[in-house]
Amino acid sequence: MPSKILVTGGLGYIGSHTSVELIQQGFEIIIVDDLSNSSIEVLDGIKKITGVSPEFVKLNLRDKKEVNRLFEACPDLSGIIHFAAHKAVGESIDQPLKYYQNNIGSLINLLQAIESMRKRFSFIFSSSCTVYGQADKLPITEKAPIKKAESPYGNTKQIGEEILYDSTRSNRLIKVISLRYFNPIGGHPSIEIGELPKGKPQNLVPFITQTAAGIHKNLNVFGNDYPTLDGTCIRDYIHVVDLAEAHVSGLKRMMANEQNDNFEVFNLGTGKGKSVLEVIKIFEKVSGVNLNYEIVERRPGDIVEAYADTTKANKVLRWKAKNDLGEALKTAWEWEKKLRNI
């Protein structure tokens, strides 16, 4: 019998790619999304790729009554992948309470609804490598210490993990896997879904593709005086479809009772660090477009270097990122061209 899985934020960037993967691997899903940072058309994209029209509920997870009603209406739910959260770092510094109320409030509402089901329940949490800050040792393993969060957004990920950990100690029925993403990029190879940043993108790859599409005059490279090979910061860019697959592996692990502990964390990256200039160079190669870019001041709060040690995810989740940076950038560019009719 297929398991029914709730995907919160399932129309968002990582949520939509994971929804596709879940459907393709035989899971029955219910997507909830408040459409605050996503678009209903994404549902059509998911349908085009999978041939399945998943159940969709427009819902604000901050509304406790609505969350309870959803769980009462779906007694056959056995798992959740929780993506729904605000994620703009800068905005979180300006409006911290908005972030704590939404990201933490929604998580608590969900956990209380899950507890009241009184049955085994698998929970995958969208976490971030931001919890490590500037790690002292590279590559970063899951044992690296959690550093003080640089932003309220980052703090909601740390607090979220702590709330989930405590829940697994008090309630043996709840199983959790927290996935710490490095830098997700790219889109589905079908070009039916991809990243849809609202307003001016803050992240590197959507800014690159929009600049190549002529939306911005040039790309600002934030600093070239870091202690790295070419002076620009280093990140671990992972194809969003690879990332999506890891969620399904995690879910299967919990459902098959394979966990060593009811709370587990995994780093999800490729294990390879690339500098901003390397990303630009590879993008130019795969797209055939010359990018206008300019070196400007460092961006406050940026860490110098982060890339994952993926040994634990490779071994325990039996998962490995398959796509390289060129592949991921190619899909990001194809998606941008489709959006802009290029």
Which residues bind to ligand UD1, rule: CB under 6 A? Answer: 89, 128, 130, 154, 183, 202-204, 207, 219-222, 233, 235, 276, 299, 301-302
Nearer to ligand UD1, 86 or 235 (CB): 235
Smallest distance, Å, CB 66 to ligand UD1?
28
Nearer to ligand UD1, 122 or 127 (CB): 127
Smallest distance, Å, CB 205 to ligand UD1?
7
Structure tokens at 145: 């210490």
How far apart are alpha carbons 29 and 314 in whole angstroms? 26
How far apart are alpha carbons 156 and 331 in whole angstroms? 30
- Give the residue from 15, 12, 9, 20 showing the smallest Cα distance to 189: 20
Cis peptide before 139 (omega within 30 of 0): yes
Smallest distance, Å, CB 170 to ligand UD1?
29
Residue whose Cβ sits closest to ligand UD1: 233
How far apart are alpha carbons 58 and 257 in whole angstroms? 32
3-state SS class at 133: coil
Phi/psi of residue 149, each to 5°? -65, 140
Is residue 95 a contact partner of residue 149, using CB atoms and an 8 Å limit?
A: no
Q: Which of 13, 99, 132, 153 is catalytic?
A: 153
Amino acid 41 reads E
Nearer to ligand UD1, 77 or 221 (CB): 221
Smallest distance, Å, CB 279 to ligand UD1?
7
Give Cα 144 to chain centroid, integer Å. Answer: 20
Nearer to ligand UD1, 89 or 255 (CB): 89
Smallest distance, Å, CB 44 to ligand UD1?
25
Is residue 329 a contact partner of residue 270, using CB atoms and an 8 Å limit?
A: no
Burial class (CB in 10 A: 0-12, 13-18, 19+), 41: exposed
Confirm whether 153 is a catalytic residue: yes
Token pair 């592996």 in the structure block, residue: 249
Smallest distance, Å, CB 150 to ligand UD1?
7
Nearer to ligand UD1, 98 or 119 (CB): 98
Phi/psi of residue 8, each to 5°? -85, 140
Q: Count of CB atoms within 10 A of residue 295's CB?
A: 14
Nearer to ligand UD1, 44 or 225 (CB): 225
3-state SS class at 243: helix
Active-site amino acid positions: 153
